[in-house]
Amino acid sequence: MGVCKGRPKCWSFLTLMAACMLCAAAVYLFISVNDLVRSLDCVLGLMVSLSAFSTSMGASVVSQLPTNFLDTARQVVPYLDFVALVPALVSMLFLLAAGGLGCIGTKRFCLAKCFVLLSNFVLLLTLGFYVVISIVALLADRPVFTNQWSQFTDVCSDSLPDMNLAIVQAQNAVNQLSAAGATPGQMSEAQSTLTQAQSQLTDFQRMCTCLQEVPPRLLLLRGAGLAGLLTTIFAFIAVNGLCCATGCCRGVARIQPSGFEMEPAAKAPGPAADVDPDDEDYDSEEER
């Protein structure tokens, strides 16, 4: 209480500075998540392309992946980078309101206290968000994550020979039909099958490349997560210092009106009040 008492302007400035730091942390996380989102968008888009033909080898490969996860990812991933901005930016707005009202003067302290209390609630949610981001980033190279991610990456090594075999078979079919003098319609159909197999192999290889990019880009979120955690903790200190300085945690002191003099307190009644200092008996007892 003594540290922050009587310094509302100082704590208001620190609160405004914390709001600016939260904005910077949000932008940092947005940039870091953007690379991850591009890799995930690449994977999801190529999966759709591979499964376009239900009887193709690509559709067979995609069917081996967890469909529930893919359905959720298709709904969440396109907005993931913008969602990363929301917690810190909302906290920033409440901190700006609390700090700005604190700078105006004592007439706005009551309203500033309301925004201080709301800021604490929003900052708690922001802190939880950055804790989750940091944990995910820290576990990106640990077995608990890599074992789950292998369900996706194992498809690349297991299905590549089958994709190559499909191209070889399609090419042999084209060669045999050409040697046998097949009709143009038969040749066109065989050539279309070969082109489709080659296109799906290209998409499959690109999808595997994008899958391999995901764990390293998750690791890059460590810096953004740590920056968000430290900034949120600093914001907690600043806004609660402002709370203390504006009197959130104590009653309002009553100020005595000027020109008013309090009457001296009456002496408590007792034996001493009845003793006369000039009394000879009193002096004799003092000497004894």
Domain boundaries in the chain? 8-250
Q: Tell me the C-alpha distance between 133 and 224, whole Å.
A: 8
Q: Which carries the bigger pLDDT value, residue 106 or residue 159?
A: 159
- Burial class of 185 by CB neighbour count within 10 A (0 to 12, 13 to 18, 19+): exposed
Q: Which residues of 143-157 are buried (b: 16+ CB within 10 A; e: fewer)?
A: eeeeeeeeebeebbe
Are 44 and 261 spatial neighbours (Cβ–Cβ below 8 Å)? Answer: no
Average pLDDT of the segment spanning 114-132: 90
- Average pLDDT of the residues in 237-251: 73
Q: Does residue 277 have a pLDDT over 60?
A: no
Nearest CA among 249, 184, 272 for reference residue 2:
249
Provide the token pair at 258: 């000027």
Of 7 and 158, the one with more pLDDT: 158
Q: How is residue 116 written in tokens?
A: 């201080």
pLDDT in tens, 10-42: 878 888 899 999 999 999 999 999 988 998 888
> What letters, b where the CB count within 10 A reaches 16 and e where it falls short, cover 270-286?
eeeeeeeeeeeeeeeee
Q: What is the mean pLDDT of residues 46-54?
A: 77
Query: How far apart (Å, rounded) are the C-alpha atoms in residues 7 and 50?
Result: 64
Tell me, what's the pLDDT at 281?
A: 47
* pLDDT, position 246: 67
